[in-house]
Structure 1
Amino acid sequence: MRQQRKKRKKKDLIPLLFLLVLFTFLMLKFPDKAGQDRIGGSLSEQGKQEIPAEYIPIYQAAEREYGVPWQLLASIHRIETRFSTMDPMISPVGAKGHFQFMDCTWLGWDYQHCDGLGSLPDQEVDITDPALIERYGGYGVDASGNGKADPWDLQDATFSAANFLSRYGATDGDWERALFQYNRSHKYVREVIQVAKSYSEPQ
């Protein structure tokens, strides 16, 4: 009788162990993104105080085009160039424009002279040429429709940032991965998400 009870207990444990393994697998495959759903909705009071009102329609248009929350784009803009108030808008490593793109990220890393961090200070190549950007696999976008994809044009830069983030999963909610590709710093990723949340008022 005792042996039968022991066998029965072992059999009863099998379904529980299976459920535990399944739960662990699902948690690893689909990690909890708690708090990420807080990005979006209407504009918070903090956002109203910090974000220049004339920029909001540009962020929102980029969201409609690429599916990246506009508060996330506003947060990047704030952190990268303080809403384009930094002078000059060129980083020590050569990132330039409103959203601080490296030349090769904008033009495309398939360009033969791209190396290192991706700056092209001495190359006679027009990084604003949409045809070259398409040829070399870059992220620059001519959002203004003037025939040039210009990192110094706010509309182009905003749409290009959204384009970049969307290709790395931001459209599907994988904001951490996309932001880390944009700037390979976990501190940067946390800061962007924190600011984006502060600009969001969930509906």
Structure 2
Amino acid sequence: MNIYKDAAAQYNIDWELIAAVHKVETNYSTHPTMISSAGAIGHMQFMPATWDHYGVDANGDKEADPWNLQDAIHSAAYYLSETGAADGEIIDALWAYNHSTEYGQNVLSIAENIRRNNDV
């Protein structure tokens, strides 16, 4: 949870939102390949072009790596923040992350469950 909380604080969004996206995308990094049929990669399932724009080096090793958990979570937080979540436009941010209303509703439901239980 500390990685979520650190990323959330840095990018001014709720940590539960980041955790919920992680849950939906790769079931907290337990997906066997962490590669989607659409070509999204890594812990938080970025398309390569999106990663090229929003990927950050959060662990300080001088490389933004979607396969590094800390980089991936911070990059997802950055992306969500930049696409509206930092301004309270969470639906817009989720739509940017995945163009599916069902996806957004699922993430919001999981985020609320995490918030209620204060745990992932």
Query: Same-fold call, TM > 0.5?
Result: yes
Q: Distance in 1 between matches of 2:18 and 2:5?
A: 9
Q: Distance in 2 between matches of 1:63 and 1:105?
A: 19
Q: Which residue of 1 aligns with 2:22?
A: 77
Q: Which residue of 2 aligns with 1:147?
A: 62
Q: Distance in 1 between matches of 2:9 and 2:96?
A: 22
Q: Does 1:102 align with 2:50?
A: no
Residue 10 (structure 2) aligned to one of 65, 83, 94: 65
**SS of the residue aligned with 1:199?**
helix
Identity within the alignment, %: 47
Give aligned pairs, total. 117
Q: Which residue of 2 aligns with 1:19?
A: none
Structure 1 unaligned regions, length at least 5: 1-55, 108-137
Structure ID, larger Rg: 1
Q: Distance in 2 between matches of 1:165 and 1:143?
A: 16
Question: Would you identify which runs of 4 or more consecutive aligned residues in structure 1 move more than 3 Å?
Answer: none
Q: Which residue of 1 aligns with 2:107?
A: 192
**SS of the residue aligned with 1:200?**
helix
Q: TM-score if structure 2 supplies the norm length?
A: 0.95
Give matches, 1:22-41, under 5 Å. Answer: none
Q: Distance in 2 between matches of 1:168 and 1:90?
A: 23
Q: Distance in 2 between matches of 1:67 and 1:165?
A: 10
Give matches, 1:105-116, under 5 Å. Answer: 105-107=50-52
**What is the root-mean-square deviation in Å for CA atoms of aligned residues?**
1.0
Q: Distance in 1 between matches of 2:93 and 2:58?
A: 21
Task: Supply the AA of the counterpart residue of 2:114.
Answer: Y
Task: Supply the AA of the counterpart residue of 2:84.
Answer: G
**Alpha-carbon displacement from aligned partner over 1:78-98 (angstroms, at most 9, x marks no partner):** 110000001111001110000
Structure 2 unaligned regions, length at least 5: none
Residue 161 (structure 1) aligned to one of 62, 76, 95: 76
Return the offset for 1:99.
0.3
Return the offset for 1:167.
0.7
Q: TM-score if structure 1 supplies the norm length?
A: 0.57
Give matches, 1:116-131, under 5 Å. Answer: none
Return the offset for 1:201.
3.1
